[in-house]
């Protein structure tokens, strides 16, 4: 069985770049494992909530406009896509958060700005009666996504899909199911992708008891809708890996975004049982009244069982965050390079510290056989060799880069509606059938974090 993956990561909006070719052979997973390692973690005082940043609930744009429904014509006359149901025993709640780091300028906006981050928290829910289903994308974000997605992934049809018509399986702001603390996972999406393209795995994890926070990186993601209705679109017009200085800024910004989110989650966990104080903190921003956070959410966060996973540039971020931050107990890199771009182009670049030095805590390297290049082989091999059994390398056969996102579930529906051909679908998500690839990806991520963080 193979135990190597040489996949090609997508680190920004690649004008005219393909998503790769479908891998041949029997679809499945192969790899090599090593034992997990120990971990030390530090707590962050709840006072962080009153310091560098403020946390608020999301505005009304996230109210679900319609109930979930099967594939068919959407409200705008386009195809209505459906996300696969999660397999776990828990109902799911979701809450959209707005984080502001007042001590850090936004690198994509320049002097005088402050960094703002949007995130969605997915969690096991209690009573969901009267709680609307969260849409996959807001109408404004969906309109922008329809324009940007074909540039990032040329196999995506430019017309014919009502991207705003899809609903998730999560209920907006439903009270959390309390009774015990639960592991917390942070997700960073691929370069040029919004956090919404990680919904299939996030819902699966939440339905099995995890609290999952999917994080958007404004200016990097194709589109991010802010609380005031502003739509932040990506600043990239090419692959950031073509510019070593730009790519360094991309990853450093993402790492800081992840730290910001983690700081606040740890702070909220420190306020467990004080829902009133949590919501007073959540309403501190002068330009937007705070909406109450879901009841009981702070009480279920376990700041001592934290993991991070991500796709492509998000995978790079997850792996390096594990190296940087002892609060993180385990990480999964879904096909992200572990090196900076070389200069001149084409030369091997400096390894990130996670690959240069290795890690002493569990790291899953999960890739596909549809992308292969020497840089992936070099960087992932280095991480495995220098982690002394703490890194695990897995490969999904018959798959490509976007198989590790929601496109795995959506592409077959696009083909069935005649919007893309079988060849185009294979170029987007490989030859593996979605009835196998989606459960397989969900299983690999869930079992990895269950093994190393404990029962949710």
Reported as a single tens digit per residue, the pLDDT across 396-454 is: 999 999 999 999 999 999 999 999 999 999 999 999 999 999 999 999 999 999 999 99
List the one residue out of 222, 164, 248 whose CA is nearest residue 15: 222
Mean pLDDT of 204-227: 97
**Structure confidence at residue 372 (pLDDT):** 78
**Structure confidence at residue 373 (pLDDT):** 87
Residue 186's CB is within 10 A of a number of other CB atoms, namely 27
Query: Do the Cβ atoms of 211 and 122 come closer than 8 Å?
Result: yes
> pLDDT tens across 16-41, in order?
233 332 333 333 555 543 333 333 33
Residue 150's CB is within 10 A of a number of other CB atoms, namely 14
Mean pLDDT of 157-185: 97
Residue 407's CB is within 10 A of a number of other CB atoms, namely 25
Taking 80 as the threshold, does the pLDDT of residue 141 lie above it?
Answer: yes
pLDDT band of 371, cuts 50, 70, 90: confident
Taking 50 as the threshold, does the pLDDT of residue 231 lie above it?
Answer: yes
pLDDT above 70 covers a percentage of the chain that reads 79
pLDDT band of 76, cuts 50, 70, 90: low
Taking 80 as the threshold, does the pLDDT of residue 301 lie above it?
Answer: yes
Taking 70 as the threshold, does the pLDDT of residue 174 lie above it?
Answer: yes
Based on its alpha-carbon atoms, the radius of gyration of the chain, rounded to whole angstroms, reads 20
**Structure confidence at residue 239 (pLDDT):** 83
Mean pLDDT of 190-198: 96
List the one residue out of 76, 117, 120 whose CA is nearest residue 100: 117
**Structure confidence at residue 272 (pLDDT):** 57
Taking 80 as the threshold, does the pLDDT of residue 295 lie above it?
Answer: yes
**Structure confidence at residue 347 (pLDDT):** 85
> pLDDT tens across 248-275, in order?
999 999 999 999 999 999 998 876 544 5
Mean pLDDT of 159-183: 97
Q: Of 54-68, 124-138, 231-245, which one has max mean pLDDT?
A: 124-138
Query: Do the Cβ atoms of 124 and 144 come closer than 8 Å?
Result: no
Taking 90 as the threshold, does the pLDDT of residue 44 lie above it?
Answer: no
**Structure confidence at residue 271 (pLDDT):** 65
pLDDT above 90 covers a percentage of the chain that reads 72
Helix (H, G, I), strand (E, B) or coil at 355: helix
């Amino acid at each position: 069985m193979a135990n190597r993956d040489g996949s090609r990561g997508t680190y920004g909006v690649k004008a005219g770049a393909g998503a790769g070719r479908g891998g041949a052979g029997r679809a499945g997973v192969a790899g090599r494992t090593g034992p997990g390692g120990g971990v030390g973690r530090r707590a962050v005082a709840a006072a962080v909530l009153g310091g560098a940043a403020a946390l608020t609930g999301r505005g009304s744009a996230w109210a679900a406009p319609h109930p979930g429904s099967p594939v068919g014509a959407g409200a705008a006359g386009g195809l209505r896509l459906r996300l696969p149901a999660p397999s776990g025993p828990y109902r799911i709640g979701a809450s959209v958060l707005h984080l502001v780091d007042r001590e850090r300028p936004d690198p994509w906006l320049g002097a005088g700005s402050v960094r703002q981050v949007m995130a969605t928290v997915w969690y096991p829910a209690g009573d969901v009666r009267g709680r609307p289903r969260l849409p996959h994308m807001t109408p404004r974000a969906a309109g922008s996504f329809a324009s940007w997605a074909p540039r990032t992934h040329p196999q995506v049809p430019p017309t014919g899909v009502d991207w705003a018509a899809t609903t998730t399986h999560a209920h907006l702001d439903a009270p959390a199911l309390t009774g015990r603390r639960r592991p917390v996972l942070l997700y960073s999406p691929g370069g040029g992708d919004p956090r919404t393209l990680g919904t299939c795995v996030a819902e699966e994890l939440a339905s099995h008891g995890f609290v999952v926070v999917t994080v958007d990186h404004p200016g990097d993601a194709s589109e991010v809708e802010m609380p005031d209705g502003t739509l932040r679109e990506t600043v990239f017009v090419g692959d950031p890996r073509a510019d070593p200085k730009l790519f360094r800024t991309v990853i450093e910004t993402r790492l800081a975004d992840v730290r910001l989110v983690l700081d606040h989650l740890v702070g909220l966990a420190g306020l467990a049982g004080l829902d009133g104080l949590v919501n007073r903190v959540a309403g501190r921003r002068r330009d937007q009244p705070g909406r109450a956070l879901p009841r009981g959410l702070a009480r279920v966060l376990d700041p001592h069982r934290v993991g991070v996973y991500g796709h492509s540039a998000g995978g790079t971020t997850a792996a390096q965050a594990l190296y940087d931050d002892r609060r993180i107990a385990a990480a999964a890199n879904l096909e992200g390079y572990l090196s900076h771009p070389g200069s001149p182009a084409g030369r091997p670049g400096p390894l990130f510290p996670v690959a240069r030095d290795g890690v002493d805590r569990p790291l899953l390297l999960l890739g596909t056989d549809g992308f292969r290049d020497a840089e992936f082989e070099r960087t992932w091999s280095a991480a495995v060799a220098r982690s002394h059994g703490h890194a695990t390398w897995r490969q999904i056969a018959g798959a490509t880069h976007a198989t590790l996102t929601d496109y795995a579930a959506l592409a077959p529906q696009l083909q069935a509606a005649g919007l893309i051909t079988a060849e185009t679908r294979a170029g987007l998500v490989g030859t593996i059938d979605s009835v196998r690839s989606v459960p397989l990806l969900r299983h690999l991520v869930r079992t990895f974090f269950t093994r190393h963080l404990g029962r949710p």
